[in-house]
Amino acid sequence: MQLEVIGVGGAGCRIADAIRAAEPTDHSFLTDIVAFDTDENDLNRTVIPESNRSRYGPDNIDGGLEGDLERGRTVGRDHADDLLESVDRPTSGAADGILVAVGLGGATGGGAVPALVSTLQQRSDAPVYVLATLPADREFDAAADASGGGPRASDSIAPDDAPPRPNAAANAVATLERLDGVASAIITFDNEDWLRPGEALADGRDRCNRELATRIAAIFAGGGGSAGSVAQTVIDASDIRRIAGDQSAVITLGYGDQTVETSGSRFGLGLLSAEPDVDTSEAVSAIETVVRKGIRGKLTLECDPETAERGLLIVGGPPAWLNRRAIAEGRRTLESAIDGSGILGGDAPRPDGDRVFAAVVLAGVESDRIAELRTVVDRADRADQAD
């Protein structure tokens, strides 16, 4: 699948950087990658070429919007059309899909993305997916304390040079609501669940972004094989579109991988082979392990897989390790896990790799975490009314 990635705001631009770095060298899937921000300094920290990034908004907001989502919406609406003309997007028409990355706790990305996605939907026949990070509790601890406590206690507070963002939960909830019915689907990543105990967001965000980018690359670069290898069952753009849907479904991603032996000899004579002999039981075991991790391991947004309406499984790695029967069994495992029939599965040969991986898409899920953020906002609203 050919994908255009657009990063909006500080968090979105960092995620776009991470996706660019995670693109397999032997299996390119990015057509264009661009960055938009109101903060010139943040924008210049990205590794995205200067021709593909643009600062927008009036000069008096260079440096950020300080959590003011309403102002972010105004600026976003005013500049949504101009943004797409402000950077080079020479191969945007070749994209099978557009992925807009944003951190939902802020005002820049959260304010601009709904208008930008709406504009993209009008201009393109390709689906427009949003890749959204949810704020961690430690980002708005002060607000949680003022309203009687958040849904779960944070293990740390932000350091003095990165004060809590009291509007982060409210911004996230409001932006999710505005994306409903606008985005084709919303792929979510929960910072709270992925940050380590005692870890500040500034310290953990690069690691979290790498984890997220690994999963995005595995899904969108997954089908079709690489370096001359052909997948037995190709997952293409239409398959991803079918699973993601076009009704703003909330999506979570799972992933599991395992290092495998890629050098071998035939008949024990020390004769090197380009296709190492792989014991069937070892291949089956490796695939079973990564599929189990992908389905039951750590998801980008924690949920019960049974709540998913549709699912996708891609198993990849060195061709000799991709046992067809084990992959078929992995698909049946996913069918059983989500208790539904909307399942697709395929393989992704990676001749130059040394890992077997399973990438899982669960679409239309229900998550307690989003409900918890709404609870934080409701409590804060009640506290404000009481004052």
pLDDT in tens, the chain (387 residues): 899 999 999 999 999 999 999 998 777 899 999 999 988 888 999 999 998 999 988 775 655 666 678 888 888 888 888 888 888 776 667 899 999 999 999 888 889 999 999 999 999 999 999 999 999 998 876 534 433 333 333 333 333 345 567 889 999 999 999 999 999 999 999 999 999 998 988 899 999 999 999 999 999 987 655 555 678 888 999 999 999 999 999 999 999 999 999 875 444 444 444 556 889 999 999 999 999 999 999 999 999 999 999 999 999 999 999 999 999 999 999 999 997 668 999 999 988 889 999 999 999 999 999 999 999 888 877 776 666
pTM: 0.89
Q: What is the CATH number of domain 3-223?
A: 3.40.50.1440
DSSP three-state, residue 344: strand
Look-up: residue for tokens 């984890």? 211
Which residues 6+ apart lie within 8 Å of 346 measured at CB?
A: 222, 223, 231, 232, 233, 234, 235, 239, 313, 314, 315
Pick from 149, 172, 168: which is nearest to 158 by CA? 168
Domain boundaries, the chain: 3-223, 245-363
Taking the C-alpha atoms of residue 103 and residue 132, their distance in angstroms, rounded to an integer, is 6
- CB of 13 closer than 8 Å to CB of 43: yes
- Reference 310, options 256, 377, 225, 252; nearest CA is 252
CA distance 238 to 344: 11
Q: What is the CATH number of domain 245-363?
A: 3.30.1330.20
